[in-house]
Amino acid sequence: QVLHQSGQDHLGAVWQAYTDAGLKAEVRPFIDDMAAALAWADVVVCRAGAITVSELCAAGCAAVLVPLVVSTTSHQRDNAIFMTQHGAAVHLPQTELTPQKLHELLRGLDRSALLAMGEKARALARPRAAARVADEIEGMLK
């Protein structure tokens, strides 16, 4: 099964692409409950922005990261490389992204590989990071 967040502007075209390919997919303009969607997913194909990567780690999700090419810095690429180096994701540069390449990549990820990636992602999570930073600053100000 596929759950695809498309954005409102691309909803119809994305749904049609799945239909044309003979694939069953639920296409939504926006996912309101991301925690539930991540808990449901075996693997997530997504961009590699800081919030996205943080959510993947917090949820312990295996991922295929396709960094946004036009980001003003290379932070998405750097995030994808970091996650890949730690075994928590697969980095697929947008310049290499084709339906065939994505299909092959996903087919090559068995259940044990996905579980291992998810565990490694969760190990990278930093729960309460903001509170810890605030505590440190507060301690420095005393």
Domain positions in the chain: 1-31, 33-141
Mean pLDDT computed over 59-79 = 91
**How many CB atoms are closer than 10 A to CB 92?**
21
93-122 per-position pLDDT tens digit = 999 999 999 999 999 999 999 999 999 999
Report the chain's mean pLDDT, rounded to a whole number: 95
Contacts of 121 (CB under 8 A, 6+ apart): 56, 57, 59, 60, 61, 62, 63, 83, 88, 89
Q: What is the mean pLDDT of residues 19-44?
A: 96
Note the pLDDT of residue 78.
Answer: 96
**What does the pLDDT read at residue 71?**
60
Mean pLDDT confidence for 59-67: 98
Q: What is the CATH number of domain 33-141?
A: 3.40.50.2000
For 58, residues 6+ apart whose C-beta sits below 8 A from its C-beta are: 122, 125, 127
Whether the Cβ atoms of residue 44 and residue 62 lie closer than 8 Å to each other: yes
> pTM here?
0.89
Give the pLDDT of residue 70.
79
Q: What is d(CA 110, CA 117) in angstroms, rounded to the nearest whole number?
A: 11
Determine contact, residues 44/64, Cβ cutoff 8 Å: yes
Percent of the chain with pLDDT over 90: 92
Tell me: pLDDT of 72 over 80: no
Reduce the DSSP state of residue 91 to 3 states and report it: strand
- Region 50-64: mean pLDDT is 97
